[in-house]
Amino acid sequence: MRAALKRSFYLRPTIEVARELLGKIVIHGSTSGRIVETEAYLGTGDLAAHAAAGITNRNRVIFGPPGHAYVYFIYGMYECLNIVAEPEGEAGCVLIRALEPVDGIAAMRKRRPTANRDEDLANGPGKLTRALGITLRDNGCDVTRGPVVVCAPDKEDTFEIGISLRIGITKSADLPLRFFVKGSRFVSRHR
DNA sequence: AGTTCGATCGCCT
DNA sequence: GGCGATCGAACTG
């Protein structure tokens, strides 16, 4: 059994958490994957962030204590997973954009029959929630406890971090807040 | 390989 | 009523 990252890991500036989450493991049930791509979404001033307009019923988890999952529904059919950073009362979260499958690859294939190659199972925010079976029911979940858990890898590895603009947004689109494991074939876009 | 477009629905104005 | 932190299929060249 892997040990979950402590809450203090998330009690930091969002950008720092976004970078540090690379290489960590997301677990849900029998499936897990290594985080290879993240995006930081800040509070006030970041017009692309759901938190930009203040607290609403949908986004209130972002303003809560760090180390919780913010899961939202988008485009009528996809769920996206974020991990909340910053102290309680302040907004900031990290969108998990791509995973390198680790455990339960057979189960992931079953949930994502359109993926032909392993690198297509979880190389996008909507794909990885589907692959791991993460849904709106996991919104607000404490990722230091579960059912969605984030852990350190069994074996620390080193890699270079790539930085780029965030993907798929129109507002505040000029900020370099996307981080990825350089050279990984499991990222959603190769630059 | 790159671009366009339809699916599908909760959220917020 | 319009739009979106997407995906995959159908186009084009």
Q: Along the 191 residues of chain A, how does pLDDT read in single tens digits?
A: 789 999 999 999 999 999 999 999 999 999 999 999 999 999 988 999 999 999 999 999 999 999 999 999 999 999 999 999 999 999 999 999 999 999 999 999 999 999 999 999 999 999 999 999 999 999 999 999 989 999 999 998 999 999 999 999 999 999 999 999 999 999 999 98
Q: What is the pLDDT of residue A44?
A: 82
Q: What is the pLDDT of residue A171?
A: 93
Q: Pick from A138, A137, A98: which is nearest to A118 by CA?
A: A98
CA-based max dimension of chain A = 43
Q: What is the pLDDT of residue A156?
A: 86
Q: What is the pLDDT of residue A92?
A: 97
Strands A31-41 and A178-181: antiparallel
Q: Which residues touch strand C (CB under 7 A)?
A: A 39, 41, 48-51, 62, 70, 72, 74-78, 80, 82, 93, 95, 112, 114-115, 120, 124-128, 166-171, 188
SS3 content of chain A, % helix, strand, coil (to 5): 20, 30, 50
Q: What is the pLDDT of residue A97?
A: 98
Q: What phi-psi label fits residue A76: left (phi over 0), alpha (psi between -120 and 50 degrees) or beta?
A: left
Give the C-alpha separation, A172 to A178, whole Å.
13
Give the C-alpha separation, A139 to A100, whole Å.
22
Q: What is the pLDDT of residue A2?
A: 82
Q: What is the pLDDT of residue A120?
A: 96
Contact A108, A131 (CB under 8 A): yes
CA of A185 to C1' of C1 (A): 41
Q: Domains in chain A and their CATH numbers?
A: 7-181 (3.10.300.10)
User: Which residues have C-beta within 8 Å of that of residue A178, sequence separation ≥ 6?
Assistant: A37, A38, A39, A97, A163, A164, A165, A166, A167
Q: Classify A67 as helix, strand or coil.
A: coil
